[in-house]
């Protein structure tokens, strides 16, 4: 699918839940969120059929995200259903890593190719402060399990304030060098004020080359993270939502006053 600005839209990011087992300060309020009703959350068969439609129209790259995707019940079965769609060349997941030790082997055998794991510091106290509840040793174990299971390349998503030379980020950089992990630095964004910049080491945040569509856990297809535009796949039907979303994809993001990271999936 080509949009009005001749960008080849071939990348679908799917948020499979708005729930999370952490409360990162830049993503969720401490008290938690008003959770989506179960009936509003897309079923596995809706997610899979929608993905198959997107693949039919040229999507080749799919990422599963959240909230925390590993807290969605039956996630391995969903990964298997998606990986069975022929035409997907790259199937990945973004996770906070907390539950990866438990899931890495089964995710790999279900067809997941690789993971991005979020890690902004290697200091246990700072990690707890950022995530408000997290135990960093679980993430370290999750990273090891992902490498051992062959979910490669394992990439680390490191959120920074301004620069990758900040002390926390430098420590994460060293940790990645020592453990043969790739790293991408994501500047902390603000959806409401429209504060964003390209991801260092990754492909996000560069409007000119943006090839993404995002599906929220409750079935809204979003052509741009920094826009309020969304198309309801249940109301419109899958193909029409896809066509409209590509047609309305803005040349460049501005701001998003209605969405949240935990709902859209970053
Ligand atoms: N729970 C999973 C995780 O944390 O990896 C997946 C969902 S999370 C919303 C996806 C990515 O968005 C993570 O790498 C996270 O660090 C990033 N993120 C969340 N809030 C952000 C913000 N305000 N600015 C930049 N990145 C953010
Ligand atoms: Fe949860 Fe990921 Fe948001 Fe942190 S960034 S609160 S782990 S969804």
> CA separation (Å) from 30 to 23, 27, 37, 264?
6, 10, 20, 18
Indicate the pLDDT class of residue 204, thresholds 50, 70 and 90. confident
What are phi and psi for residue 259, nearest 5 degrees?
A: -90, 165
Residue 256 lies in a domain: yes
What confidence score (pLDDT) does residue 198 get?
87
Closest CA to 252 of 221, 219, 232, 229: 229
Gap from CA of 63 to ligand 1 centroid (Å): 13
Residue 180 lies in a domain: yes
186 lines ligand 2 (CB under 6 A): no
What confidence score (pLDDT) does residue 167 get?
96
Gap from CA of 227 to ligand 1 centroid (Å): 17
User: Which atom of ligand 1 sits closest to the CA of residue 190?
Assistant: 23
Residue 5 lies in a domain: no
Note the pLDDT tens digit of each residue in 245-265.
Answer: 999 999 999 999 888 888 898
pLDDT of residue 95 exceeding 90: yes
Residues in the ligand 1 pocket, defined by CB under 6 Å: 20, 26-27, 65-66, 68, 94-96, 118, 157, 159, 186, 188-189, 261-262, 265-266
What is the spatial distance between Cα 6 and Cα 166, in angstroms, rounded to a whole number? Answer: 37
Residue 182 lies in a domain: yes
Residue 2 lies in a domain: no
One-character DSSP codes across 190-221 = BTTTTB--PPBTSSTT-GGG--EEEE-TTSEE
Residue 157 lies in a domain: yes
β-pair type (182-187, 231-232): unpaired
Q: Which domain holds residue 243?
A: 11-264
β-pair type (220-222, 231-232): antiparallel
Number of domains in the chain: 1
Residue 168 lies in a domain: yes
**CATH for 202:** 3.20.20.70
β-pair type (182-187, 11-15): unpaired
Gap from CA of 144 to ligand 1 centroid (Å): 20
Q: Is 62 helix (H, G, I), strand (E, B) or coil?
A: strand
pLDDT of residue 19 exceeding 90: yes
Question: What is the number of the ligand closest to the CA of 97?
Answer: 1
User: Which atom of ligand 2 sits closest to the CA of residue 134?
Assistant: 7
Residue 3 lies in a domain: no
pLDDT of residue 88 exceeding 90: yes
Residue nearest to atom 4 of ligand 2 (CA): 24
What confidence score (pLDDT) does residue 36 get?
93
Indicate the pLDDT class of residue 147, thresholds 50, 70 and 90. very high
What is the spatial distance between Cα 45 and Cα 256, in angstroms, rounded to a whole number? Answer: 29
Which residues sit opposite 93 in a β-bridge?
A: 64, 115
User: Which atom of ligand 2 sits closest to the CA of residue 261?
Assistant: 3
130 lines ligand 2 (CB under 6 A): no
Strand ranges in 5-138 using DSSP code E only, listed in sequence order: 11-15, 61-65, 90-95, 114-118
Mention every residue, 6+ apart, whose C-beta is less than 8 A from residue 127.
120, 121, 134, 136, 139
Task: Tell me the residue length of the chain.
Answer: 266
pLDDT of residue 202 exceeding 90: no
């Amino acid at each position: 699918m080509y949009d009005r600005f001749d960008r080849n839209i071939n990348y679908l990011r799917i948020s499979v839940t708005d729930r999370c087992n952490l409360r990162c300060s830049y993503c969720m309020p401490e008290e938690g969120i008003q959770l989506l009703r179960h009936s509003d959350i897309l079923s596995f068969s809706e997610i899979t059929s929608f993905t198959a439609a997107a693949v039919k129209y040229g999507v080749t790259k799919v990422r599963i995200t959240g909230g925390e995707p590993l807290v969605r019940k039956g996630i391995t079965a969903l990964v298997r259903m998606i990986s069975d769609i022929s035409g997907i060349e790259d199937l990945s997941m973004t996770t906070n890593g907390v539950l990866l030790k438990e899931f890495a082997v089964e995710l790999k055998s279900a067809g997941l190719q690789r993971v991005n794991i979020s890690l902004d510091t290697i200091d246990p106290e700072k990690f707890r402060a950022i995530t408000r509840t997290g135990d960093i040793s679980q993430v370290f174990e999750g990273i090891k399990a992902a490498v051992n299971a062959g979910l490669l390349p394992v990439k680390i998503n490191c959120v920074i304030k301004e620069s990758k030379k900040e002390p926390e980020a430098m420590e994460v950089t060293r940790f990645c060098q020592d453990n043969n992990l790739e790293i991408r630095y994501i500047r902390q964004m603000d959806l409401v004020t429209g504060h964003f910049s390209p991801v260092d080491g990754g492909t996000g945040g560069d409007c000119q080359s943006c090839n993404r569509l995002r599906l929220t856990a409750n079935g809204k297809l979003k052509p741009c993270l920094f826009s309020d535009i969304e198309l309801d796949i249940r109301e419109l039907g899958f193909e029409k939502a896809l066509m409209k979303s590509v047609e309305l994809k803005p040349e460049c993001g501005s701001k998003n006053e209605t969405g949240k990271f935990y709902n859209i999936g970053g």
